[in-house]
Amino acid sequence: MSKKIGMKLKIGDKVKFLNQSGGGIVSKVISSNMVHVAIEDGFDIPTMASELVKIEDDDPLAGYYGGFSAVTPPKKADSAADMDYYNRITALVKYPSKPDFQPGLYLAFVPHDQKWLLTGLLDIYVINYTDFEILYSYFLKEQSGSWAGIDYDVITERSKCLLETIKREDIEHWSEGVVQFLFHKDRHVSVLEPVSATYRIKPAKFYKEVHYTESSFLSERAVIIRLSLLTETPIVPPEEKKEADSAPKISQKDISSAPVMPESLIDKHRIAARTAEVDLHISALVDDYSHLKNHEILKIQTEYFIRCLESAIESHYNKIYFIYGVGNGTLKARVQEYLKDYNESLEYRDAPYDKYGTGAVEVVIRENL
């Protein structure tokens, strides 16, 4: 069965371009709003569905448009590299030198132009950073308040799926959504619970470079949204659940023998239960900074602040103290500018004066309280 999209295009449909001459045949449906169009010289062109007009069989151009015969077959992929172009699901590559993320499911908005992150097209990927094959279903919130199911697919383990390529003016349309997941593995000790993840992101984030971060699973910088961490909560049959509830509980003295998960970045700064203190002075972050210019120092401090804040949210901390000192106030302004984008999930205020003076901020993560 062919997969149809918004304007009811499907593989084999004859189309013409709205903004240029010529046309072709739909050779592949990439997502709900983008297709590949095979043109006369055998090449496939990724094209937004909104920029195409379907040619009906009774149209005079139905048999011939732009010199391209309706019976010309689409170009075949003749190498592994070409296959990536035809297949929207590609394997993730591990970048050990970049910040690692916990295993889980993510949404990534990747700018085409990595030099000018705030302009141009964005690729939206669903990231499967787990060892499970997943089936996902994607919904977007409409202005009417209803939910539109826009895409679904299967993503192999440790892979990414190109969901859509959008223009900057379409960001708001993608700012709120729900993604549902089912996990599959040929053989595993348990069956995992399905996941339904709701996200909401302010469009203003896409117009600040500090929100474009590096990750261990992408070569490009991107705005990355955590949908769900892999907790491997199994589906437990009622009879087993009853037995588990009555089973002896692990005592405090036994905890040391349990497997220990690797520490996250924020754990390095823990000063109490679910509380951390992060010193953003450059001397605390870099051994030798004598060769760095002021803007390079600010970039290092800002990026470390962002990484620690995201790590604290992911690791369920509820309070962090960020120390930026007095200085000229540039770092303080940058930190507070970033925190404003989180006003729905956290609050911040001056840290206690008797301990930090005027050079620190106290951040309380409401969603982790």
Q: What is the pLDDT of residue 58?
A: 54
CA–CA distance, 90 with 87 (Å, rounded to integer): 7
Mean pLDDT score across all residues of the chain: 79
Looking at the DSSP bridge assignments, the partners of residue 15 are 24, 54
3-class SS shares of the chain: helix, strand, coil, % to 5: 25, 35, 40
**Is residue 30 scored above 50 in pLDDT?**
yes
Lowest mean pLDDT among 18-22, 156-160, 197-201, 337-341: 18-22
Q: What is the pLDDT of residue 242?
A: 54
pLDDT digit string, tens, across residues 131-140:
999 999 999 9
CA–CA distance, 159 with 176 (Å, rounded to integer): 23
The share of the chain scoring above pLDDT 90, in percent, equals 29
- For 318-323, what is the mean pLDDT? 94
Q: What is the pLDDT of residue 237?
A: 56
Looking at the DSSP bridge assignments, the partners of residue 109 are 124, 223
- For 347-360, what is the mean pLDDT? 91
**Is residue 239 scored above 80 in pLDDT?**
no
Other beta carbons within 10 angstroms of residue 346's beta carbon come to: 21
**Is residue 254 scored above 50 in pLDDT?**
no
pLDDT digit string, tens, across residues 48-103:
777 888 887 555 544 444 444 433 433 444 444 344 444 688 989 888 888 888 88
Could you write out the DSSP letters of every residue in 250-295? Answer: PPGGGGGGS--PPPPGGGGGEEETTEEEEE--HHHH-S--TT--HH
Which one is predicted more confidently, 345 or 219?
A: 219
CA–CA distance, 207 with 106 (Å, rounded to integer): 20
**Is residue 262 scored above 50 in pLDDT?**
no
CA dihedral 121, 126, 131, 136 (to 10 degrees): -160
**Is residue 3 scored above 70 in pLDDT?**
no
CA dihedral 252, 253, 258, 260 (to 10 degrees): 80
**Is residue 127 scored above 60 in pLDDT?**
yes
**Is residue 121 scored above 60 in pLDDT?**
yes
Lowest mean pLDDT among 3-17, 65-79, 159-173, 274-288: 65-79
- For 25-52, what is the mean pLDDT? 74
pLDDT confidence tier of residue 222, bands split at 50, 70 and 90: very high
**Is residue 11 scored above 80 in pLDDT?**
no
The share of the chain scoring above pLDDT 70, in percent, equals 78
